[in-house]
Amino acid sequence: MRYAAALPLSIIVAGAGASQARVQLQFHSAFLMNLHHFLYNLGVHPEQVEKVGWTAAPTADEMAALRKAVAHYHDNYAKRDLLFDERMASIKTALSVADTRHEAGGLALPPQLTATLDSVAPMYARCIWAQQDASNQQWIAEAKRLDARYGAEVQEAIARYLQTPFPLTPIRIDIVVETGTRQGGYTDTQTVIPSGRPSYQGLASLEMVYHEISHIASTDKLENAIEARLKATHRNPDSELWHGVQFYTVGAVVKDAYQRDGIVYEPYADKGGLFKRFWTPLLPPIENKWRPYMNGKQTFDQAVTRMVDQLPAG
């Protein structure tokens, strides 16, 4: 998902093509962050309340408290965007506390939200948290393993192709079982990734980590160059070409890294049919004009110009 705010230049390294220190990934499986997304997901999909796979059965009173909490999320937050809505962003920031904290009081949250979280926290802790935390921890372990083996190569290649380095300040990555959004993961200056989605698991975890954190600053030059050419040629300024290029680039880099170890990998966008379902006009320009750039056959600026010029006019 697209990054929402500009990153301070003080945390960007000069020289996109230069060797860069490893990006610092700080993974978290935090109780309150997971509880918030658990309730947000049920607020968006209230019909799922009766389908939750509890590890310990809630009492009648606990279920009543949960339904009240879900109704509060449905009425107040379900229609708000987790990334672009300032209220949701402030809630996420407030909940970025110690992973083991269970109390929402004193976190500068809306009073009703504090009361809502605290009303269901004991039930959530008793009836499902251990299972969800285990899912998150398993996801984190796999992502760390893959990053240790392939991360340096993947980071260098993405920074080289997008001609923008990754930030050197630590990046907080919150792992939750479900985010409640169609898009799944989302990123501003920190990232939230759903461990419970099969499309994010296993080998895909490495791609999704680097796809998400590349939203922080790495796509800025690409977005600006595409936007300028779109305006210059009077094409649709809302084109998602930059996002298609980002998916294609990160997926190809991870696929190539795995392939050197004899591992066959299908990138997220290909496996999920993103280009076929949403971006059909974008794939030919990317394959015909961007891929040659990745293969060293033309420059970044030439690739951007030729991709945009291949899009439908108007």
pLDDT in tens, 104-130: 999 999 999 999 999 999 999 999 999
Residue 36: is its pLDDT beyond 50?
Answer: yes
The mean pLDDT value for 50-55 works out to 96
Q: Which of 178, 213, 248 is the last residue of a domain?
A: 213
15 within a domain of the structure (yes/no) = no
Q: Which of 213, 232, 261 is the last residue of a domain?
A: 213
174 within a domain of the structure (yes/no) = yes
Q: What percent of the chain has pLDDT over 90?
A: 90
Q: What is the pLDDT of residue 19?
A: 59
Give the structural domain span for 225.
220-310
12 within a domain of the structure (yes/no) = no
pLDDT in tens, 203-252: 999 999 999 999 999 999 999 999 999 999 999 888 999 999 999 999 99
- Whether 54 and 154 map to the same domain: the answer is yes
pLDDT in tens, 298-312: 999 999 999 999 998
- Whether 163 and 43 map to the same domain: the answer is yes
Residue 94: is its pLDDT beyond 60?
Answer: yes
6 within a domain of the structure (yes/no) = no
- Whether 239 and 135 map to the same domain: the answer is no
pLDDT in tens, 245-275: 999 999 999 999 999 999 999 999 999 999 9
Residue 194: is its pLDDT beyond 70?
Answer: yes
* DSSP string covering the chain: ----SPPPGGGSPS-TTS--PPP-EEEE--HHHHHHHHHHHHHH-GGGGGG---SSPPPHHHHHHHHHHHHHHHHHTTTS-TTT-HHHHHHHHHT-S-TT----TTSS--HHHHHHHHHHHHHHIIIIIHHHHHHHHHHHHHHHHHHHHHHHHHHHHHHHHHT-PPPSS-EEEEEES--SSSS--EESSSEEEETT-GGGSTTHHHHHHHHHHTTTTTTHHHHHHHHHHHHHTT--TT--HHHHHHHHHHHHHHHHHHHTTT-----HHHHTTHHHHT-GGGHHHIIIIIHHHHTTSS-HHHHHHHHHHHSPP-
- Whether 57 and 186 map to the same domain: the answer is yes
Give the total number of structural domains in the chain.
2
- Whether 198 and 86 map to the same domain: the answer is yes
Tell me what the pLDDT averaged over the chain comes to. Answer: 93
> Which amino acid, 189?
T
Residues 45, 52: contact at Cβ < 8 Å? no
- Whether 61 and 203 map to the same domain: the answer is yes
3 within a domain of the structure (yes/no) = no
- Whether 187 and 265 map to the same domain: the answer is no
Q: Which of 187, 213, 239 is the last residue of a domain?
A: 213
